[in-house]
Amino acid sequence: METIVSVTGGKVRGVTRDGVSVFLGIPYAAAPVGAARFELPRPAPEWSGVRDAVEYGATCVQSPYPPPIHALIGSDGIPGTEYLNVNVWTPDPGGSGLPVMVWIHGGAFTRGSNARKIYDGSAFARDGVVLISINYRLGISGFAAVPGAPLNRGLHDQLFALRWVQDNAAAFGGDPGNVTIFGESAGGMSVAALVAAPLSRGLFHRAIMQSGNGSAVAAAEDAQRIAVEVAAGLGIEPTAAAFGEVGPDRLRTAQDSIALELMMNPDPARWGPTVVGNGLGILSFFPVIDGDIIVDRPTDVLAAQPDRAVPLLAGYTTDEFRFFTFPTGIAAGIDDTTLPLLLPRYGVGPAVAEVYSANRPGARAADIFAAIVTDLVFRADTTRIAESVAAAGKSAHLYEFAWHSGIDELRACHVLEIPFVFDALADAHTLTGPNPPQRLADEVHRAWVGFATTGDPGWPEFRPGSRSVKVFDSPESTVVIDPRADELRALGHGA
């Protein structure tokens, strides 16, 4: 059955099946092509008649993931120019007062889209939530610090999309006064940035940060070095006008090339210390301190300015970094000889490795490396942000996703919790293995719905005196007080 809704720009036609109405590929901003690719987002042109919204919209220019990662999670790439679009799932477009959740996808700020199967919002709509997933500019288009162009265009897109949500949520039965933003990886980092941003006031009311942090931001002068290198590789002047004349295929090639160079040779003297240090050699184009959206590292902003805090649900997977080391073959090169040489790159001394090794008798050097960097990049920063939110008098709930994938060596890796959050296990077997526990998906998904609806995911708040963490696992999940606190202390964090 078709369903028609009026939104900013005109009318859209969606499809209703099994009590869920779905609207796909609705433009929330004008197509950012040519010179507009390096400008702030603008309203989408109005259309006449009724626009079909029954297929996913275009995605920002990007290359497929390398084969080992592609095999696990697939890749995104739908051609077209109207890639600043949203998808909406709702149980009742004629209703009112429903909680709204806005999903911000991950992908290291260079890949990803809202069109992935494991991001299907049907289960959220089934359970009474209006789920809206957004696209935003990525890579060079969204985050290159091009002289003469506004910084953080991808984050400006996210803010523009959230304003669209405020204007249009009610058309789908949603309550614009009860909006929860949530995202994973780069999406989780975006959530941290948006919570800390002065420009986001009133656009959302709760936040969920999955496998993110609040430290992955670069100084503008360092990020500009990358833009200059990209321009040199393209044979153009490093200006917004010159970049605007470059077609998407050349941009894709350039951003892949510079990302590989940065990963292979993470020299702070060449790229800038904040690009290498805060991006850990993995991120090439990512948010920049601009004095506008990002005034400092979001982790530091939330600690210093408690008025920015909103109720927070945040967490990480136990073995995040195995996703980046084991499928890719990097782990095979980490042994007892190379580990002491590798850790200083992350600012980690031998005493830290001793603590982690003592807690993991018989673990290989690659296991120790993944555990340390998991905590350094994800767990420590997430915990600091939860501490700041709790200190500000807002509710903070912390979780750890500990269930091991059925795929050998992944364990509880990065991305693994997403199909459980979306209750989309049928589309995730390349990542989860053949028999993921539906009971755990029911539990995790219910917690996210509960938090977006009432602010309570179902376990005690994280507070300085208790530091409760919900550990999601199978056959049983538990609440643990300050898990592995000695390891965080070894890294210089924690109580």
Amino acid symbol at 164: W
The answer to whether residue 185 is catalytic is: yes
Helices 248-264 and 220-234 meet at what angle, rounded to 10? Answer: 120
Distance CA 146, CA 133 (A): 28
Selecting among 229, 320, 443, 487, the annotated active-site residue is 320
Running DSSP on this structure, what letter comes out for residue 461? P
- Please give the structure tokens belonging to residue 22: 């779905």
**Are the CB atoms for 227 and 147 separated by under 8 Å?**
yes
Selecting among 113, 122, 141, 185, the annotated active-site residue is 185
Neighbouring residues of 110: CB distance < 8 A, sequence distance ≥ 6: 62, 138, 139, 255, 259, 284, 285
Start-to-end CA span in the chain (Å): 56
**Are the CB atoms for 410 and 416 separated by under 8 Å?**
yes
Helix or strand or coil: residue 61?
coil
Task: Give which of 275, 110, 108 is closest to 185, Cα–Cα.
Answer: 108
Distance CA 61, CA 251 (A): 8
The DSSP string of 78-107 is ---S--SEEEEEES-TT---EEEEEEE--S
Amino acid symbol at 375: D
Distance CA 84, CA 80 (A): 10
By residue count, the chain amounts to 495
- Please give the structure tokens belonging to residue 103: 């999903």
Task: Give which of 55, 340, 329, 299 is closest to 195, Cα–Cα.
Answer: 299
Running DSSP on this structure, what letter comes out for residue 475? S
Distance CA 34, CA 258 (A): 21
Selecting among 21, 414, 477, 487, the annotated active-site residue is 414
Residues assigned a catalytic role: 185, 320, 414
